[in-house]
Amino acid sequence: MQPRLRSLDVAGLILAGLLATAAALPAVWWEPLHYDEAVTLNFAPHSLVTIVRQIFVEKGGAPIFFFVEHASLSWPGGIAGLRLPSVLFFVLALPAADLVARELCGAIEGVLVALCLALAPLAVSLATFGRMYSLFLAASLFATWLCLRAGREASRDRWIAGGALCGALVYVHPIAPLYSGLALTGGIIWSRLPARRAVASALPGLIAAAIVAIPYAYAFAVLQRRYHVGDSGSTLLATTAGRSVTEQAARALTPAGASGAILVSLVALVGLAALARRNGRAALILALWLVVPIAFFSLVPAGGAGGTRFYDRYVIPALPAFLLLVVSGCLALGSLAGRRVLVGSLLVAALICAEASDDATHAARLHDLGLRHLVRAVAPERSNVVLFSSTGSTISDRPPELLAEYVALELPGIERVDELPALDPRYQADVVQLGQKDVAAFIAGGDGRRIGVWIFRGSPARMPAAIGRLTRIGAVETQRVSSAIVVVRSRRPAAPRILIEQGLLVRRAWSQGSRHAPLVGMILAVDRGALGSS
């Protein structure tokens, strides 16, 4: 039986929650939108029935997080409604990580793992991501804990609860069967019964998981057709950086870049060896949580036009297991020094400092981007303004085309003309025709005069030259929001057709000499076509 939470343990969990909140919260408002967040914004406002049809039936995706966002985008709404649910689930994951670590190793390990997870760069980066990954982390941890308790106590009721939650994980993320299987297997390994009796004891949980997950068989068939998973001739998953899945996963799970990945991974190996001597079952469970996902993502074939890849976020459920091995390694090194808890805690504190340094560096980059200044610059008077599609140089998977969407979340009710009406204009063949219809409708909508606003994001190195060209357009004024973002506004209110003509001038001036703004040409085609047809 594990000891109950003491006041010191509670204080550690409270500290972990405060650290996690402090590390994650600024990025709610400082970070640009991701392509996947645009998917959330596109589908979550629909009715729950429509979400099930569009996400689960048609795409084979997981609908639960969309249900959460359906509520939070109604209240509190805006960028907070999109991202705060992920922050909440991240904070809830901390006590769940403590429970799992406490069950496998002990109370000290539980608190230290929660503190490490609170500032782990991978977890912090996903804590404000308007997708399901923080929910996936928390739910996976609670499912694992339930299965471990069920295995240790040979409890039929706990096995049913743990199995049902494992089965429900597939409605949180489509890759959940991988981690559900690990949670269920861990509970069987953790049982004190002989192997056959342990499996028999777990049978109610296995049946509960299968029953809850039965509809996922349909979703998996949809996903298999979409991404060609397992098809003959498909290629293995590639990482976004061209590294092996093993190396990419190690970098994702650790702070301080390549050197940190090597050093912290070595400490984790020390922890695995020390834990294997003390508790072989716990060591085996944690090893499986790391080896199985990395092997799976290294070997699974997939293809298709979507460019299926391995992303760091796919290993987020394995992060607590890795951190528990690192904490065990730190404590093992502390034992060698004769001060297990003191020296081990100091080594963990050094890891936490390295995590905090990575988090601070990331937060500083986001702050320098100046999105809060951008919102104020777009519409200081919040009326008589029309916001056109933003664009610029695509530098990451948080494209400049979504800056206008970010501003619209923060300024609800602002008038917009979306010249690229698509989730990802790069892959929609008829986006120019659809955009022309929207722009033509704006031109035909009347002679009311507005201030036009255009947002551009690009390399700081080319920004001065671009601003110099923009300032030579007498009808507009230019405001540099940060080193990478500039806002262009009409000097005086103008009729819709005049604003579109001004937009042509502005976009040509911005894109001159740039080979990294491909969607600018698409918007120019949209605007020219709309002017010609009106």
**Model pTM above 0.85:** yes
In DSSP notation, 87-151 reads: HHHHHHHHHHHHHHHHHHT-HHHHHHHHHHHHH-HHHHHHTT-SSSHHHHHHHHHHHHHHHHHHH
The answer to whether the beta carbons of residues 230 and 311 sit under 8 Å apart is: no
179-202 residue pLDDT tens:
999 999 999 999 999 999 999 999
pLDDT at 1: 43
Higher pLDDT, 414 or 234: 414
The answer to whether the beta carbons of residues 274 and 325 sit under 8 Å apart is: no
**Maximum distance among all Cα pairs of the chain, rounded to whole angstroms:** 83
Percent of the chain with pLDDT over 70: 94
Of the candidates 142, 141, 148, the one whose C-alpha atom is nearest the C-alpha of residue 191 is 148
391-438 residue pLDDT tens:
988 767 789 999 999 999 999 989 999 999 988 887 788 899 999 999
Averaged pLDDT, 291-307? 77
Averaged pLDDT, 87-110? 97
Q: Can you read off the two tokens belonging to residue 461? A: 């190195």
428-471 residue pLDDT tens:
888 999 999 999 999 998 778 999 999 999 989 989 999 999 99
pLDDT at 242: 75
Q: Can you read off the two tokens belonging to residue 220? A: 């998996």
Instruction: Report the amino acid identity of residue 253.
Output: L
Reduced to 3 states (helix: H, G, I; strand: E, B; else coil), residue 154 is coil
H or E segment and range at residue 236: strand 235-236
pLDDT at 305: 44
Residues 6 or more apart in contact with residue 230 via CB below 8 angstroms: 224, 300, 301, 302
Domain residue spans in the chain? 28-368, 371-533
Residue with tokens 């694992």: 144
Whether 351 shows a pLDDT value over 70: the answer reads yes
How does the average pLDDT of the chain come out, rounded?
A: 93
Bridge pairing between strands 451-457 and 476-480: unpaired
501-517 residue pLDDT tens:
999 999 999 988 776 66
364-386 residue pLDDT tens:
999 999 999 999 999 887 689 99
